[in-house]
Amino acid sequence: MDIQDAQAAIGALTAIDKRLLKSLILTRKAVENWDFKTLKRMLAALGDDTKLLAVRHEELRPEIVSALKAEQEFVAGEDYPGALETALREECLPLQGSYPRYELHPFKLTVDSEQEVVTLTVGRKSERTSALAPQHVAAWVAARYKKLVEKRFESQQFCSELLDAYCIGNQLAYQKNEVMWGRAVPLATIYKLLTVRRSAKQEYPKEQYTYELGRLKEQFQIRYKDYRFEFGFARNQSNAFLVIDSQGRESRLEGLIVHVEPKPQEVKQL
């Protein structure tokens, strides 16, 4: 028995189920309208179809399970990882890593063939699917990945939030009452300030923070009002943030430096 036969068996059960649903609707109407004759007929029909459904279920259940045995063995076998990776790459996903753990920055993808579940994670947020067909998994991942990366990046809003955190972090780092412009503040400190509340870290995971830093870094000049932003590259790799831009280029960044540079006034033509 193959998948088509299994679908035919499920179709037979569905036909009985539809009759049951129709009988239930008519039974409810009969009760509401005191239609005793119809009620008696529908209760008899419900009893017959319920028994039939139970019998057919017992007959067809082993056949349906048997039909998917080959697919279940394929998922547990050595050819599944290759089929899954091919399907993921056909969706043009920037796949890194190897089975069963992959990265599609800022996501992490984990396949647990024993528990028969696939998990997609961003920080502490995760989604799961137990549908393991390679094309289904790829489409499921691609929909969530594209929803994030194709989301409009509000660079000016992000710069505003970075600037606020930079000012506080700068004063704390250099023990001054005023901001020491042009001095670096660790990106780790800025992230902590952006997520002071514990719940905020769940709403804004570090993976999304580094993803947005990558989007910002792609700009030729990072400016916000009268301020220019630049990133400091890491000397100590243990303190670095691995930032990956939309082209997949990696950078290890450690600090943020903000300069006060008012835009030159436009000269009016006489």
Average of per-residue pLDDT across 85-90: 94
* pLDDT range class, residue 255, cuts 50, 70, 90: very high
pLDDT in tens, 225-251: 999 999 987 676 667 888 877 666 778
| Residue recorded with tokens 């028994």 | 51
H helix count then E strand count, the chain: 9, 10
Phi, psi torsion values for 229, nearest 5 degrees: -105, 145
Do 256 and 190 touch, CB atoms closer than 8 A?
A: yes
Report the alpha-carbon distance of residue 20 to residue 47 in Å, rounded: 9
Percentage of residues of the chain with pLDDT beyond 90: 36
Does 264 score more than 70 pLDDT? Answer: no
Q: Would you state the pLDDT for residue 5? A: 66
For 95-105, b/e burial (b = at least 16 CB within 10 A) is: beeeeeebebb
Average of per-residue pLDDT across 91-104: 90
Boundaries of every domain in the chain: 3-67, 77-149, 155-260
Q: The tokens of 154 are what?
A: 């509000």
Q: Would you state the pLDDT for residue 270? A: 44
Q: Would you state the pLDDT for residue 1? A: 52
pLDDT in tens, 167-208: 999 999 999 899 999 999 999 999 999 988 555 666 787 888
Report the alpha-carbon distance of residue 190 to residue 181 in Å, rounded: 15
pLDDT in tens, 26-53: 888 988 888 788 889 888 988 888 888 7
Burial of 201 (0-12, 13-18, 19+ CB in 10 A): middle
76 or 200, higher pLDDT: 76
Mean pLDDT value across the chain: 84
Phi, psi torsion values for 58, nearest 5 degrees: -65, -35
Q: Would you state the pLDDT for residue 184? A: 92
Q: State yes or no: cis peptide before 100, omega within 30 of 0.
A: yes
Angle at 144 between CA 248 and CA 136, to 5 degrees: 105
Task: Write out the E strands in 90-154.
Answer: 96-98, 101-104, 107-112, 117-122, 125-129
The long-range contacts involving 69-77, CB below 8 angstroms and separated by at least 24 positions, are 71/3, 71/133, 75/113, 75/116, 75/132, 76/113
Q: Would you state the pLDDT for residue 117? A: 94
Q: Would you state the pLDDT for residue 197? A: 59
pLDDT in tens, 101-138: 998 878 899 999 889 999 998 766 789 999 999 999 99
What is the amino acid identity at position 181? W
Report the alpha-carbon distance of residue 175 to residue 240 in Å, rounded: 23
Q: Would you state the pLDDT for residue 263? A: 65
Q: Would you state the pLDDT for residue 252? A: 86
